[in-house]
Amino acid sequence: MSGYSSRRGFLKSTAVSLGAGVVAVTAAGCGPAATGPAPSSSKLNEVLKRGTVIVGTGSTNPPWHFEDEKGSLQGFDIEMARLLAKGLFDDPAKVQFVRQASDARVPNLQTGQVDVVFQFMTVTAQRAQLVDFSIPYYREGVGTLLHRNSPYGGAHDLAKGGKKVKVSILQNVYAESLVHVAIPQAEVMQFDSVANAVLALDSGRVEAAAIDDSTVRWLARQNPEKYKAGNYGWSPQTYAAAVRPGDPVWLHFVNTVLHEGMTGVEFDAYASGFEKYFGVKLAPPPVGFPVEFGVRHS
């Protein structure tokens, strides 16, 4: 049994039950803990009374959210939703998923159709005027998918190849400039889908495919005999959960669950999903000074 698992068992045996409506809503930077019943107007109180949390998500975008052969939802967004359910009810299965298109994420929150959205939602200033975002649970970016036996290790090596290097990417108005941020002289070949950009790599038309770093890691995880992930990503963007604005108690609770998944008692669950979908084994956060404040031990 790992140190995190045994400590989690100890904490569980001594914790105050959430069933009575007593909650701690502290997250990093979120202020002091508050105890006592959640305000009746809070989504937290509503969700606890209902006994399930309603989560908006997608179903067609691995490794984030997709259906397995039985039609059940899988993916890292799904793992995060189940982590929230475990925090609410000590039962990760108490989730009702609402499959929705990307353009329904904000409207379904605003109309109360869902309690929270876990759907690889990029944080932007414009969206932050319409929803309240949680703390980040993933940092996305552009990565390079390479043949397993490629002589290149990633974007920096590809950049050294100069003009002889060809890179495929999904067609858009920023495609060429996006590739040239990291691989300045590459010839950029644009395709109408990510699948076709990857096919260009498979057929040897390009040395690398520039796609979402999470997709790179997923494909390399699923096909280790065929692909490898480049060792450098760029153009970062933040993925976070989203809730309806104006309910700090609910937002703070979501933040607390995510924070403890990434840094505390639920780290094993977060790390397990991270390795399953991205092929990366995370090192447990060090004890002592909180790692989220950026201080490292000498």
Tens-digit pLDDT profile for residues 199-242: 999 999 999 999 999 999 999 999 999 999 999 999 999 999 99
How far apart, in whole angstroms, are the C-alpha atoms of residue 80 and residue 98? Answer: 15
Strands 53-57 and 95-99 turn out to be parallel
Tell me which residue range forms the domain holding 150: 140-233
Same domain as 95, residue 32: yes
- Residue for token pair 């790599």: 201
Q: What is the pLDDT of residues 162-202, one digit of tens each?
A: 999 999 999 999 999 999 999 999 999 999 999 999 999 99
Nearest of 205, 165, 209, 207 to residue 184 by alpha carbon: 165
Q: How far is CA 245 from CA 111, 128, 129, in A?
A: 11, 9, 9
Residue 157 to residue 173: CA distance in whole angstroms: 25
CATH at 190: 3.40.190.10
pTM for the complete prediction? 0.85
Helix/strand number for the chain, H first, E second: 10, 12
Residues 81 and 226 in one domain: no
Average pLDDT over residues 240-266: 97
Per DSSP, helices labelled H in the chain are 3-14, 43-50, 76-89, 105-110, 155-160, 175-182, 194-202, 213-222, 248-263, 267-278
List Cα–Cα distances, 15 to 2, 19, 177, 185, 260, in angstroms: 20, 11, 52, 58, 15
Q: Are residues 7 and 125 in the same domain?
A: yes
Q: How many domains does the chain have?
A: 2
Backbone angles phi, psi at 190, to 5 degrees: -100, 140
Q: Are 278 and 233 in contact (CB under 8 A)?
A: no
Clarify whether residues 18 and 117 are in a common domain. yes
Using the predicted structure, report yes or no on whether residue 14 has a pLDDT greater than 90.
no
* Cα dihedral across residues 251, 252, 254, 258: positive or negative: positive
